[in-house]
Amino acid sequence: MSCKFYGIGVGPGDSELITIKAAKIFEILDILYVPQSKNGKESIAKKIANPYLNKDILIKERYFPMNYNMDEKIDVWNSISKEIVNDVKQNKNVGFVTLGDPMIYSTYLYVYERLKDYIEVVTIPGISSFINIASSNNFPLVMDRESLAIVSCTDDMHRIYDVLDNFESIVLMKVYKNFKSIIDLIFEKGLEKSSIMVSNSSMEDEVLIKDLSEVKKMDSVPYFTTILINKTYNR
């Protein structure tokens, strides 16, 4: 069987929230690429995958810049994609771990786009952080005829304004960016009692905030912060 590239969603943080399928794929990998957001800092995705890795696997930690320098990012995506293509062409089964689900706001997608025409790609789904936050807090997302909008808070505020008016249920991702304006908007719309905010879902330093007025006093929120809003939910 020819070798492949596997993009593997490892879920939000807890090692038990990966799929059986993902765990089995870790067993057959020769090489695993692990994105690092800071040089030298242990990757969260690697920590999640650790219990399932075979002992002979070669780990390649690669630095992915998390800044606004597009040229630097593109250089990194290009060079890592080339390296992966070479590995697969030299008959290695190669994996790449990504937090949450690979198809939802992941760095994996930038690598995938660059190598998909050269090697066979298999993508394994994962539990996205918002999915886990909903279940962990028994917070229903959608029932019956309701609709759900998933929006990045790095988007324009008018979009966020719009979805708060027009959807029954809203997931706000990447809240770190405009969190003060976002919280103000939620209060302005009277949705604060239908909302919860969670940072670092299922990780050791998870923070759950049910009373959003607490956020008004904060100076910053962690990078992995998500707000769920459901108009039919009232605490």
**CA neighbor of 175 nearest in space, from 221, 217, 141:** 221
The contacts found for 150-158 with CB under 8 angstroms, 24 or more apart, are 150/104, 152/105, 153/177, 153/178, 153/179, 153/182, 154/178, 157/181, 157/185
For the record, the structure tokens of 204 come out as 């050791």
* Separation between Cα atoms, residue 205 and residue 216, nearest integer Å: 20
Determine which residue in the list 14, 30, 61, 83 makes contact with a copy of itself, applying CB under 8 A.
Answer: 14
104 binds a copy of itself, rule: CB under 8 A? yes
Shortest Cβ 201–a copy of itself spacing (Å): 10
Calculate the alpha carbon distances from 226 to 85, 143, 151, 172, 199 in Å: 34, 21, 10, 6, 6
Shortest Cβ 99–a copy of itself spacing (Å): 14
For the record, the structure tokens of 94 come out as 């190669």
Choices 26-34, 87-95, 162-170, 191-199 (CB under 8 A): range interacting with a copy of itself:
162-170
181 binds a copy of itself, rule: CB under 8 A? no
Determine which residue in the list 123, 178, 194, 226 makes contact with a copy of itself, applying CB under 8 A.
Answer: 123
Determine which residue in the list 163, 196, 221, 227 makes contact with a copy of itself, applying CB under 8 A.
Answer: 163
Shortest Cβ 213–a copy of itself spacing (Å): 25
Determine which residue in the list 59, 65, 136, 191 makes contact with a copy of itself, applying CB under 8 A.
Answer: 136
Q: Which is nearer to a copy of itself, 61 or 150 (CB)?
A: 150
80 binds a copy of itself, rule: CB under 8 A? no
147 binds a copy of itself, rule: CB under 8 A? yes
The sheet with strand 5-9 has its strands ordered as: 58-63, 31-36, 94-98, 5-9, 121-124
Distance from CA of residue 188 to its chain's centroid? Answer: 28
Please name the residues in contact with 159: beta carbons below 8 A apart, sequence gap of 6 or more.
Answer: 151
* Separation between Cα atoms, residue 228 and residue 183, nearest integer Å: 12
Shortest Cβ 84–a copy of itself spacing (Å): 15
Shortest Cβ 27–a copy of itself spacing (Å): 13
- Interacting residue ranges for a copy of itself, rule: CB under 8 A: 7, 9, 11, 14-21, 23-24, 101-105, 109-110, 112, 116, 121, 123-128, 131-132, 134-136, 138-152, 154-155, 159, 162-163, 166-167
